[in-house]
Amino acid sequence: MKKLLSTTKGLTIALASVCATGTEAAPPTRYQCRLVDGSIRQLDQDISRRFPTLVKSCQPVEGGADSADEPKAAPVPSGDPSTTTVRVIVAQDEPASVVVPRGLQAIITSAGDRHGIDPRLIQAVIQVESAFNANARSPKGALGLMQLMPATAARFGAAADTDLFNPAVNVELGVRYLRVLSEQFESRIDLVLAAYNAGEGAVVRSGYEVPPYRETREYVRKILDLYPAGE
């Protein structure tokens, strides 16, 4: 089935798979950053202030030397197909890189192919929803990578709330939901995302437009900034 594609032209292409980090020479100054999931990565700039949902803190590593208070991050093995580096936009002219957790890329691609949803869109949703943290839990009770509410997950086949912390289960159910929303809103990505965030009823009550909620509009904007426009 035709994959869900963006109808918005000229979006910034902010999320793209690239080669393993070992394929490019490291710049003179790098930053050792602790991500929200507790892992440590070396990036080419400090993005902790501009992108706090992904990074807790960053320390400069001059000339490749180890930081005094942070262990050195293990490099991503060259050619490892289970780990993917993606680009995120922290400002219009300042891209940076983060790493999708091991094995998650295959789960995303498989679910996307199965349900006709662009894997790049799924990845952008996960990045905004949970910053790739499989154990994420929101104050409202949303769980896992795609931040599914237990009631919504049960609607799409979850046997127990704890299942939502399993990446394969969480992504499968979240993508099923995106597929249903795609059919309901005729593949209009802005409405699909708005409904994922605020519920189908909110979009319908708003006359099939993005509801006038600041949180929802910001949510849609963030994902569209990350999702590369389809051809």
Q: Tell me which of 80-84, 114-118, 171-175 is least confident.
A: 80-84
Q: Which of 24, 62, 129, 183 is catalytic?
A: 129
Distance of alpha carbon 32 from alpha carbon 64, whole angstroms: 10
Whether 200 is catalytic is: no
117, 125, 86: which is closest to 187 by C-alpha? 117
pLDDT at 91 over 50: no
pLDDT at 74 over 50: no
Distance of alpha carbon 105 from alpha carbon 172, whole angstroms: 13
- Give the tokens for residue 16: 């793209």
Please give the average per-residue pLDDT across 158-184, as a whole number: 96
106 falls in which pLDDT band (50, 70, 90)? very high
Distance of alpha carbon 14 from alpha carbon 86, whole angstroms: 9
pLDDT for residue 229: 53
- If one counts every other C-beta atom within 10 angstroms of the C-beta of residue 34, the result is 18
Distance of alpha carbon 88 from alpha carbon 124, whole angstroms: 10
Q: Where are the domains of the chain?
A: 17-100, 104-226
The SS3 assignment for 75 reads coil
- Choose the most confident range, by mean pLDDT, from 6-15, 44-53, 83-92, 154-163: 154-163
What CATH topology corresponds to 104-226? Lysozyme (1.10.530)
pLDDT for residue 31: 75
Please give the average per-residue pLDDT across 20-35, as a whole number: 54
Share of the chain above pLDDT 70, in %: 63
Residue-wise pLDDT tens digits, 113-132: 999 999 999 999 999 999 99
Residue-wise pLDDT tens digits, 220-229: 999 999 986 5
What global pTM score does this model have? 0.61
Cβ-proximal residues to 34 (8 Å cutoff; 6+ apart), any chain: 40, 55, 56, 57, 58, 70
* Mean pLDDT across the chain: 75
pLDDT at 217 over 70: yes
- Give the tokens for residue 103: 């094995």
